[in-house]
Structures are given as C-alpha cells and as structure tokens.
Structure 1
Amino acid sequence: MKKSYIFFAALAVTLCLTACNKFLDEEPISSKSSETFWETEKDGNSAVASMYALLRQGMNNGLFHYAHGDLPTDIFSSDRDLGGEDFNYIQDADWSIAIPAASTWRVMMRNRRFDHFYSAIVQANNCLANLPRIPAANFDTEYETSIRHFIGEAYFVRAFAYFYMARVWGGVPIVSDQVSTGLDMTNYQRASAEDVLNKALEDALTAKSYLGWDNVSTVDKHVRANKGAALALLAHIYAWKADYANCELAAKELMNSNYYSYASRTTYTDIFKGNSTEGIFEIAQNSSTEAAAAMIGSFTLKTPYLTTNTGNALWPLDTLTLRQTLFTDRSDLRVQHGFDFFDTGDPICLKYKNLSYTSSGTAVMPLYMSNIIVFRLSDIALLLAEAHAYQGEYSAARDLLNRIRGLAGLGSSTVANADLFEAVINERGKELFLEGHRFYDLVRLAKIKGVYRFGSGGSAKISSSEFQQGKYYWPIDPLLISNNPLFAQTAYWSSEMQ
C-alpha cells in the first residue's frame, strides 16, 4: 500500500483536533460557573446550545461522521492512496493497526475512541439536572414552553449520542453522572449493545414528549432539535433494531406532519448549505464562525471547486459502484446537479462545494461551510419505504420509492417485490450519497437480506463470515483499555488488534 506520511502529518496539524490520555478531555461549557450559572433563560439557552457544539466536535474529530458512515463502503476506491496511511486502513475496514500511545493525533486512534461523544452527554446530563433550577420569572418567553423545549433538547442530544455510538461500537458505557468538571470513567464498563440502544430509545421517546414542532429560535430551526428531529431519530433507532412496525409509526408521524417539504433537485447542492426545506436535523458549520479548515470537501473536491487542489480528489470515488450499481441512468437529476467529471476516471461529488477562502500570510486556505445533514425528509421517506418493504407492504413501499425517484426525474421502479427491500437501500445509496448513511444502510441490508456489498469488484472489505463475527462493529482503541482495564475489546477485534 502506498504511504503518504508527509501529507498525513500536515493533515493532522490542519485538522486541529487533538486528543489526550484523559478519558474525557472536553469540559462542559456551563461547568465553569455551576453554582451561579443557572439563573436566567439566557443561561439555559447557552447551556443547551453548547451541547450541539460539543456534538459537532465529536462528529468532526478525525472526519468521524464520514470516516465511519461512508469511507469503508463500496463508494470509495482503493485504487489510489487516500492521502494518509490511516484513511487507507479505514477505507479497507482494517481497523486494528497498532498506533503508539503518544500519537493521539492519528486519525485511526481518534476514530477508535468513543470518549469524544461523552462531553455532549455530560453537558446534556448537566442541563437535565440544572435547567429546572432557573426561576420561571427569569424567562423572557413563555416559561412552560421554553423550559420543556430545553429539556427535550437535552434528552435528544443524549439519545442521539448513544445511538450514534451504538451503531459504531455496539456497547459503550452508559453515563448518568452529573459532573461539574472532567468525567472520571475509570470504574465504568461497556454496557451491552442492546442496553445502549434501549437507553437511546428511552431518551428519544422522552425527547419527543417534551419537544414541539417549532424551535425556541427560528434562526436555529434545523440545527436544534424539535419533534421532527426526535421522530427521525426514533425511526432510525427502530430500523437499527429491526423493529420496523415502530419505525413505520415514527416515520409516518413525521411525514404526515407536513412540516417539511422536498427541495428541488435542480438546485440539489443547496441542501448542503443548510436550512433547506427538507432539513430535519443538521450539524451547523455553514457560517464563518463554525466553518472548518479541513472537512469532507478537502478530500472529495478538486479545481475548479477547490482551487487549492489542482490534481485528483484525494479520496477517489469507485467508478464501478457509481456508474454501474447506483447511477445507471445519466438523466438522474442527482447526477446532473450533484456530480462533475462523472464519466471520467476521477468523478467528484459536489455536495460540499460551499466554501470560502481565507489567507494566512501568503497561504490561501479554504473554509468549508456545509452543514452535516444528519436527517432530512428524503432519508425518512426511504426509511419508511424500507419499513414497508420489510413488512411485505409492497405497494406502500413502491409508492414512496417512486416518489423519491420522481423527484430525481426518473421513472417508476420495476423491481420484483422480493427485491424491493434491496432496491430501497440502493435508492438510499443514490439519494444520500456521501451523507454518512451508506455503511449503516449496508449493515441493515446484510442483516435482513444476507446481501454483503461493503466492497466493489473483488474488494469485499467485510466478508459474510466476518460480518457474522461482528466485524462491522469498530474496535475501541487500546489506549482506552490501558486507561481503564474494565473495558473489554469489541468481540471480533479482541484477537485482531496489532
């Protein structure tokens, strides 16, 4: 395998995302004044908003959202070096490489550590414990509505963090402690995957009961949770548990609200600027104060969209998957407006082309200003179609599938009913290309239908036997185990770690 250590070292500096030997190194934002902080509505709003900032840090750390959700799938090619040794290993689903304990900046280490998400959980716990302390008289808005929404947001963030980790590692610690400083987890064990999912489900249901459809602030409509975000999360949790009857109920409640609407596919990439009509929950980074100097666009764009890269995109898309598995019809509006150089050896996805440039001395640096679109209407429509197909409700599944195809300018699907579940997963691959869903969709396809498509051509990445042994769950980094011997390694990887 090719090596690119010089670039990789530079990348580590550029990402500016560090880790340390403490299990949790992000201090909850409100902890600096725990005794006096919780006095006004403004304090409560600030504390709740900080949960999302901490969540963003976890999802960006080591390009976590895309390194887990897209990179180890059939949409990326192993034909070229990916601009860093660790990204090559992640892409190949070879997650066991040895990394020196001092190399906390390494992308693989950061992607094997779940501790980054506990800062958001701790902040949510602090919010749940302290929000009721704020006197109703200190609210400028209607107290009952606002305090319930704040509390609902805290339950949502905690549910989301647990679900996010459960899909990656299966079992992780369940933390209910309220702390005012860093969290000492040396006495925690990993809960079972089932218990973590049940905790996420419990919190998501509670969030739904507290949240209304309208956010506290219309400015933060999509980047702060509302009832729609809670329902979308519930639909995904139920689908992951293969509880498709309840997945259907949650998705239908969201769809029937008519709170969201589909964006035009002729302006498809505008969705990723954030705050589109179909956005349900997003991670904000579309302003100059939230933009990152190294994001997914760094690896998937090239000139003329990224003027600092005059060569090929650093992460090459798999042309076999792109042109023969997913986008077989060039009239697809998502091809016409979501890609460039489509029929060349180096096609690129344009979803993350929203950027600006800043100067540092003589160097010009891009700032990526696309939100992470976590849930959107098309995602939930296709998840509902998946639920219908699983339950043998083929007409309802086909109607939803064809609705999404129609938005893209395509005709109705003609696949047989027996193949409809896989066809929906395939459509999700097209509609949600490079949005952090592909790996988890392929896991569900493998579980439900025994179809394994993690690689393209002769690259299996995860074989059927490896899947049955649980390889789709990530290992935790050995550094976490050395800091806390109570942590057991993920089952498949216990004999694979180097």
Structure 2
Amino acid sequence: MKKIYIALLLLSTVFGLTGCNKFLDEDPISSKASENFWKTEKDGNAAVASMYALLRKALNNGLFHYAHGDLPTDYFTPERDLGGEDFNQIQELDWALAVPTASTWRSMMRNRRFDHFYSAIVQANSCLMNLPRIPKESFDTEYETSIRHFIGEAYFVRAFSYFYMARVWGGVPIVNDQVSATVDMTNYRRATAEEVLKKALDDALLAKSYLSWDNVSAVDKGVRANKGAVLALLAHIYAWDGDYENCELAAKELINNDYYSYTPRNNYTDIFKGNSTEGIFEIAQNSQTETARDMIGSYTLKAPYLTTNTGNAAWPLDTLTLRQTLFNDPADLRVVHGFDFFDTADPISLKYKNISYTTSGTVVLPLFMSNIIVFRLSDIALLLSEAYAAQDKFGASRDLINRVRGLAGLGSTQVADAALFEEAINERGRELFLEGHRFYDLVRLAKVKGVYRFGSGGSTKITASEFQRGKYYWPIDPVLIINNPLFSQTPYWASEMR
C-alpha cells in the first residue's frame, strides 16, 4: 500500500495500540485537514488510503481478527494457559468477564468494543461526501475512472466494516452521515442484526457498481479493494445470511474471471507475506511502517522462528483437532510447509513467521511483517463448495473440495453427498487455519446443519439451546452502555454480564 498515511496513524500502529476512554478518540485524517484539503488527486488518494490504515487498527486492536475468528474455537486447547490478559476467557467463551472501566488496555474490553470500526466508517463517509469536490483538472490520471474507483473503495470499506461487526455483535449503530472528528453516539441505538447486514449488502452492491478489476497499481493489488474484493465480500455476506444462491453467483463471478491464481503449496507460507497471486483482500502490514510488535505471531510462534520466545507457544494448539479432526494425513503439503513440531505436544503454525527484529536499547524486539489475509482464492472456492452443497449440487461441491485438496497433494474426499456441507467446513478449517475464519464457519455449520463443534472432541462450548439464544454474538462492553444508555446489551448476554 502506498505510504501516504498520516504520521500519527503510522506511529500508533508501529509502537502499539492503546485503548480509548471516549467512544472515539482517533480522528479520521480528513477531519484534521485544512480548507486546502480535497483539492487534488493526491489528497483523494491519501484520504482513501487512510481508511485502510484505520481498518488495520480495528483488526489489530486486542488481536481482534484472530481473537474473534480463531481463538474461541477448537484450534486451541483449554488445557494449558494461553497467557496474556483475558485470552483464556475469550477462548472459553466466558465473554461476560467483569473488567474495571478504567482497564481500557484489557483484551476483553478491547474485544467487546466496536470503536475503531467507526473510525474507518467515518473516514469512508467523509470520502463519499468530499471526493466529488476534487476538481477534475487536478487528476494526473483519467478522472472518471479514478474518482469512481475511489468512491467504490469507500463503499467497500464501509460495507466490510458493517459486515464484520454484524458477524461479531449482530446489531450495531448505523452511521451514514457522520464525518466530524469524533462520532457523537449519544443519539444512536443499536440497529438489528438484519438491518446491519442489509446495510453491508447495500454498500457492497454500490461498491461493485463503481469498482473495476484493474484500477490498482501492482503494489496495491490485494491491499486496496477492486471488483474481486467486493465479490468476495458479497459471497461472504450472502453465506452468512444463508442466501447460498446469491453466494454462488458472486463466488462464480470472481473465480471465473481468472484474475487470481493459486500459490503452489510448496511455497504455502509465501501467501502470508502478502501480495501473492492468491490474495484477494489483505490488511497491509508487511513493511516497517505498517507492522507492530504485539501480533498473532507473538502468540503462535516460538524459537527458532521467534527468537525471543525459547519456551512453548503462548497460545497452544489443540493436538486432537490438529492431528485427528483436520490434518490426519501427514503428507498434506499444508502440514509439511505450514507447521513445525507437528507431532509434539507443542506444534506451531508457520503462517506468521515473516519477522524482522529491531532493538530498543539492549532489548531485541520482533516486528511481525505478515499481512492479514482477509479473503483469498481458496477461501472463495471453498465457500462456493459450501454454497453448492447447501443447494444439493453435490458434484460441483465435491469438485471444488478436491481441487483444493489436490493443491495440497491429497486425494479426493470420500465422504457421502449428505456430508459435503460439513466437509466443506472441514476443508476450510484445514486450508484457512488460523486466518480468522474458523468461528464464523462453525456458526454457519450450526445454522445450516445443527452441528455444534466449537470445542475440541466432545466439547461444544455452545449448546444447541445457547446457540438458538444467540450466544455466538459477542456482548458489548458495559462502558459503552454507561456512555450511551440508549444502547442495549446483546440479548443472550444481558443476564450474564457480571
């Protein structure tokens, strides 16, 4: 991604993220701009790029992307301490844990708050309002093509933010027009989950009407939205809503364009360095100005890959899930190249081993330089397989599963047609291990098939009754309700908070 972010945002990302006492205390860059801003193509590009920087902050804050998408699943064992404040409780779905209101640094508080997503939304709103003001004559590129792509990116970021929050909390406030330095939420209520998902869908469809396939530079490919990114988002929105017919259409449109290609599995971990041929949408943090010290690799790696940790990985993987439920064939290239210490009591994933080191005084500090891979080609292929299975199109579903298995050096799946939906979820668990998808995949499995597999072995973590009551949606932190009494607690958790 072009290095055009405001310096304050860069510094906050490099040196760590802190909590906030106000509902929003991170200003979108446009709110600080002078009257001379929004005058040139460069201004528009900078404003659009800042949306992604703010989105990066949202997904990194409290390890949000992985704390929500992977940690509460069967990937990690509850039998060993996970280390770090509140990570055990997050893993065990003890999301009602009491946290003092002053402890804004606590992982539980940061993961129960949606603050940073609204920074990205406000910046997107500001772009949608102000981009059309930029004079045509200020553009070095073809105006109509570039301005339409900028606007499409703003709709995409807003759609993505609402969809992400809809999966985590269900209902959240919908802010369509707020562009001031801080969002005054005192007059907002939480919209319903259905309203938020519809908002995400509407914005994504608008983004699709504006975005092209090719109007991004080579360095921006994958880390700034194009038509492929919005089609991937649409496929996920439709799948989450149970609309597998439209999920199929969006996923097929993406795959049939042949814009992306699979990375050979002998080079599997290259995907996570970022900007691979397989990447559809990524959060850029693979340069010195984008990375941070407290990242997923801090918790999932150990020596010799993470030289500052000579003990076990902080987040221990569940060996039953790893070696029996998912990777029961040691010839799987994703095992061969994606793990180490696989047959020991402390196996580790190598997806986030792209590390450089710096020093502070005499202290050596790791810098984790792997992108967050939000959507990639095999993700959408397996989502399409899931959509086919949900519609009883078993041959097409099986072909896609076998395509991904073939890349990994495996033979065809032998499961019966009736088991193909669950097999698509299983293959996603293998292929997308530790990429922030597992929890949402298991929610869809529970919705469609009534199979509750959130824990390892026979442990569910969420019973059928709890699932129907909405336990899979997170509570919002009580400090948000203190700040705005119009907010109501997520229904399942209303009587559970302590």
TM class by shorter chain equals: over 0.9
Q: CA deviation at 1:424?
A: 0.4
Contact 1:386 1:397 in 2 (8 A): yes
Q: Distance in 2 between matches of 1:332 and 1:178?
A: 49
Residue of structure 2 in register with 1:91 after alignment: 91
Q: CA deviation at 1:218?
A: 2.4
Residue of structure 1 in register with 2:156 after alignment: 156
Say whether 1:492 aligns with 2:492.
yes
Q: CA deviation at 1:85?
A: 3.8
Residue of structure 2 in register with 1:242 after alignment: 242
Q: Distance in 2 between matches of 1:22 and 1:246?
A: 40
Contact 2:85 2:106 in 1 (8 A): no
Q: Distance in 1 between matches of 2:254 and 2:34?
A: 37
Residue of structure 2 in register with 1:385 after alignment: 385
Q: Distance in 1 between matches of 2:301 and 2:255?
A: 33
**Which deviates more, 129-138 or 452-461?**
452-461
Residue of structure 1 in register with 2:4 after alignment: none
Q: Which runs of 5+ in 2 are unaligned?
A: 1-12
Q: CA deviation at 1:33?
A: 1.9
Contact 1:215 1:221 in 2 (8 A): no
Q: Distance in 2 between matches of 1:215 and 1:157?
A: 16
Q: Distance in 2 between matches of 1:237 and 1:428?
A: 17
Q: Distance in 1 between matches of 2:294 and 2:20?
A: 20
Residue of structure 1 in register with 2:302 after alignment: 302
Q: Distance in 1 between matches of 2:337 and 2:480?
A: 44
SS in structure 1 at match of 2:366: strand
Q: CA deviation at 1:14?
A: 10
Q: CA deviation at 1:84?
A: 2.0
Residue of structure 1 in register with 2:135 after alignment: 135
Residue of structure 1 in register with 2:206 after alignment: 206
Q: CA deviation at 1:15?
A: 7.4
Residue of structure 1 in register with 2:190 after alignment: 190
Residue of structure 2 in register with 1:482 after alignment: 482
TM-score when normalising by structure 2 = 0.96
Residue of structure 2 in register with 1:109 after alignment: 109
CA change 1:34–1:494 in 2 (3 A) is farther
Residue of structure 2 in register with 1:8 after alignment: none
Contact 2:312 2:346 in 1 (8 A): yes
The two structures, once aligned, show a CA RMSD in angstroms of 1.1
Residues 180-203 of structure 1: CA deviation (Å, up to 9, x unaligned): 311111110000000000000000
Residue of structure 2 in register with 1:318 after alignment: 318
Identical aligned pairs, as a percentage? 79
Equivalent residues in 2 for 1:83-482, closer than 5 Å: 83-482=83-482
Contact 2:126 2:179 in 1 (8 A): yes
Q: Distance in 1 between matches of 2:171 and 2:429?
A: 27
Q: CA deviation at 1:108?
A: 0.3
Residue of structure 2 in register with 1:10 after alignment: none
Q: Distance in 1 between matches of 2:459 and 2:63?
A: 23
Equivalent residues in 2 for 1:12-91, closer than 5 Å: 16-33=16-33, 35-91=35-91
Residue of structure 2 in register with 1:6 after alignment: none
Segments ≥4 residues shifted beyond 6 Å: none
Contact 2:14 2:292 in 1 (8 A): no
Residue of structure 2 in register with 1:4 after alignment: none
Q: CA deviation at 1:250?
A: 0.2
Contact 2:341 2:348 in 1 (8 A): yes
Q: Distance in 1 between matches of 2:180 and 2:496?
A: 38
SS in structure 2 at match of 1:291: coil
Q: CA deviation at 1:457?
A: 2.7
Residues 397-455 of structure 1: CA deviation (Å, up to 9, x unaligned): 01101000000000001100000000000000000000000000000000000000100
Contact 1:15 1:62 in 2 (8 A): no
| Amino acid corresponding to residue 364 of structure 1 in structure 2 | V
Q: Distance in 2 between matches of 1:337 and 1:96?
A: 38
| Amino acid corresponding to residue 264 of structure 1 in structure 2 | P
CA change 1:15–1:342 in 2 (3 A) is farther
Q: Distance in 2 between matches of 1:180 and 1:385?
A: 43
Residues 18-53 of structure 1: CA deviation (Å, up to 9, x unaligned): 222211111001111253210000000000000000
Q: Distance in 2 between matches of 1:402 and 1:388?
A: 14
| Amino acid corresponding to residue 382 of structure 1 in structure 2 | L
Contact 1:173 1:188 in 2 (8 A): yes
Q: Which runs of 5+ in 1 are unaligned?
A: 1-12
SS in structure 2 at match of 1:119: helix
